């Protein structure tokens, strides 16, 4: 069997297994909409762990990190480490508080404690950010398939194929499908990239030879390539995202209890810490071996130099990273539409059966919409950082609501979200306002001042029902 035949067998087998898992868990997801979007709030610690790792370690954390490492060196790996730090902070702080509230979406929290216009603005921002992040998975998925089978796929046809799998798996089994398939995805991607790293470092002559042949002095430095300021920025952005993005919150809300949510996030964050540096190392080696290729194709191109079976399985594992990320993002975006728009404004009396149908239709239509985004995006990590900064408003609102509800005004959430949008737009179109290292710092300053300022001026306090810790209740185990 030729190399292309081997790759086709591997990718078809992998797709078949993913769809097999989805059909197997379909019955669990079909009994109610809560089973479909939150796995019936029955996810265990291992399922929470693989779900958050699967969401975080996607195209940006592998293909995107290698792309940046191709240009700046090993320090690009801090991007994935920042995801891990964000997940650990989420687990140690607000994961248990989210789970205790028994909500389905972040905008639901906004409506419960603030007002309806905050909820509407929140839906718009959350859906937009998640569609941008998801479209990056199409870009990375297309790059992997084009590298794996260049005679069959171009980056564009690779995106279309990725879309079919992303949408199909989510459509069939919802959160159960995404979490169960992530057991396979995460296991495969960690084994694949680790084995590939050992073989490629050996092929390059060992780590000392890689360091000697590095194109620049900073290529093998853990900090100087992207610089300490960028590393701090990534950590700030991804802590912000972990405590506010619907796709991440939805994973914690699916946990069977408070402690499960907490442990799953902390363990998942620890598991994430090293993998970005492995991808970055491979990006550095690719820059030595293939100095004139497109940086986006650096990691797939390097892996293709291995034995066809190992290369096929490793690239399938990188594609698995995109599948695991995209499924969670697509499901959460669809949940935002069906739960917070359709159920609230269009058909409040709809049956659970119709609610399920609307959610599934949203998965299909939003999945197709992101293909359009994917065709216009370049620079995976830079695009991601700008979009994710919009989550700052939600982080400020959530932290104040959960930790200082007595100082929150019902008017504050809406104006904070509006302020975050104005800051991002101004940052992108008016160069003179860029006095800080990154838009995330401007977002934190403006959103914090706006929220606290409105809360001081307005006397209309939020309700604290459900927010207070139950001191007399026994601890959950």
The residue length of the chain stands at 477
d(CA 444, CA 174): 34
What per-residue confidence (pLDDT) applies to 477?
A: 36
d(CA 439, CA 437): 7
Q: Which two tokens stand for residue 191?
A: 């084994």
Task: Report whether 184 contacts 14 (CB < 8 A).
Answer: no
Residues with pLDDT less than 50, the chain:
470-477
What per-residue confidence (pLDDT) applies to 474?
A: 38
What per-residue confidence (pLDDT) applies to 466?
A: 67
Q: Which two tokens stand for residue 249?
A: 């919150």
Backbone angles phi, psi at 461, to 5 degrees: -75, 155
What is the CA angle 195-273-330, rounded to 5? 90
Task: Report whether 177 contacts 327 (CB < 8 A).
Answer: yes
According to DSSP H, which parts of 346-411 are helical? 352-374, 380-388, 392-403
The residues, ordered by sequence, that sit 6+ positions from 218 with a Cβ below 8 Å of its Cβ are 72, 73, 75, 224, 225
Backbone angles phi, psi at 430, to 5 degrees: -120, 95
What is the CA angle 303-305-307, rounded to 5? 90
What per-residue confidence (pLDDT) applies to 192?
A: 84
Burial of 138 (0-12, 13-18, 19+ CB in 10 A): buried
Distance of CA 253 to the CA centre of its chain: 16
Q: Which two tokens stand for residue 5?
A: 């035949």
Burial of 469 (0-12, 13-18, 19+ CB in 10 A): exposed
d(CA 254, CA 240): 20
What per-residue confidence (pLDDT) applies to 166?
A: 86
What per-residue confidence (pLDDT) applies to 49?
A: 95
CA distances from 229 to 226, 400, 437, 441 (A): 8, 27, 8, 11
What per-residue confidence (pLDDT) applies to 389?
A: 87
Stated as kind and residue range, the H or E segment containing 52 is helix 45-56
């Amino acid at each position: 069997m030729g190399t292309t035949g081997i790759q086709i067998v591997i990718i078809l087998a992998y797709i078949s297994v993913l769809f097999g898992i989805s059909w197997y868990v379909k019955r669990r997801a079909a009994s109610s909409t809560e089973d479909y979007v939150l796995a019936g709030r029955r996810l265990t610690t291992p399922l929470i762990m693989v779900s958050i790792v699967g969401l975080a370690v996607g195209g940006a954390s592998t293909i995107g990190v290698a792309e940046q490492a191709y240009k700046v060196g090993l320090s690009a790996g801090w991007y994935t480490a920042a995801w891990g730090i964000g997940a650990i902070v989420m687990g140690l702080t607000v994961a248990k508080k989210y789970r205790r509230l028994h909500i389905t979406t972040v905008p639901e929290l906004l409506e419960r404690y603030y007002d309806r216009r905050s909820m509407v603005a929140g839906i718009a921002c959350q859906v937009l950010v998640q569609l941008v992040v998801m479209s990056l998975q199409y870009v990375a998925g297309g790059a992997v398939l084009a590298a794996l089978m260049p005679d069959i796929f171009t980056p564009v046809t690779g995106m279309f194929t990725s879309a079919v799998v992303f949408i199909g798996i989510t459509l069939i089994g919802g959160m159960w499908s995404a979490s169960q398939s992530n057991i396979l995805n995460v296991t495969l991607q960690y084994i694949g990239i680790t084995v590939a790293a050992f073989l490629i470092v050996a092929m390059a002559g060992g780590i000392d030879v890689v360091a000697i042949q590095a194109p620049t002095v900073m290529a093998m430095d853990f900090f100087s390539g992207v610089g300490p300021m960028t590393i701090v920025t990534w950590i700030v952005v991804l802590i912000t995202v972990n405590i506010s993005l619907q796709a991440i919150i939805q994973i914690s809300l699916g946990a069977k209890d408070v402690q499960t949510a907490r442990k799953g996030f902390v363990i998942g964050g620890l598991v994430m810490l090293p993998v970005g540096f492995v991808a970055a190392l491979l990006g550095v080696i690719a820059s030595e071996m293939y100095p004139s290729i497109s940086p986006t194709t650096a990691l797939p191109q390097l892996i293709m130099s291995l034995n066809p079976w190992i290369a096929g399985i490793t690239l399938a594992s990188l594609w698995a990273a995109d599948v695991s990320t995209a499924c969670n993002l697509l499901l959460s975006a669809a949940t935002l539409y069906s739960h917070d728009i359709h159920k609230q404004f269009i058909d409040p009396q709809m049956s659970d059966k119709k609610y399920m149908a609307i959610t599934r239709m949203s998965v299909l239509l939003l999945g197709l919409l992101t293909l359009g985004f994917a065709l216009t995006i370049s620079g995976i990590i830079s695009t991601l950082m700008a979009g994710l900064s919009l989550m700052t408003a939600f982080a400020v609102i959530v932290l104040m609501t959960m930790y200082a509800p007595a100082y929150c005004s019902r008017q504050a959430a809406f104006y904070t979200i509006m302020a975050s949008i104005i800051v991002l737009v101004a940052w992108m179109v008016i160069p003179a306002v860029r006095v800080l290292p990154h838009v995330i710092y401007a977002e934190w300053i403006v959103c914090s001042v706006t929220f606290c300022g409105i809360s001081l001026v307005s006397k209309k306090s939020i309700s604290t029902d459900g927010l207070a810790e139950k001191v007399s209740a026994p601890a959950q185990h």
